[in-house]
Amino acid sequence: MALKDKLVSEGMKLAANPNVAKLMQDERFMRLFMTAMSVPGRVSSFTAEQKETFAKAMGLATVEEVRDLKRTVASLEREIAKLRREG
């Protein structure tokens, strides 16, 4: 049995438990649960922001900036090739 299947089956068992159903109706618990579920996304965005701040402070280019520069260079190379063919 795969991990996902095991988690789903255990989750279904928990959902059928009356104590869990009562807990799920508690607004405070649900607010805590939703906050806990949002933590990985918050950590990820915080890490990305800190990475950009560090890169700027150190004078380094970020991945997005490099990608944009490559796109610009490729566009300019196409434009030069086009002008050479016309001229």
* List of residues 6+ apart from 30 with CB closer than 8 A: 24
**Percentage of the chain with pLDDT > 90?**
46
Structure confidence by residue, pLDDT tens digits, 28-68: 988 998 999 899 889 999 998 998 899 889 999 888 899 99
Highest mean pLDDT among 1-5, 20-24, 33-37: 33-37
Other Cβ atoms within 10 Å of 62 Cβ, number: 14
Average pLDDT value for residue range 3-16: 84
Residue predicted with more confidence, 4 or 43: 43
**Rounded Cα distance, 31 and 13, in Å:** 22
What does the pLDDT read at residue 13?
A: 86
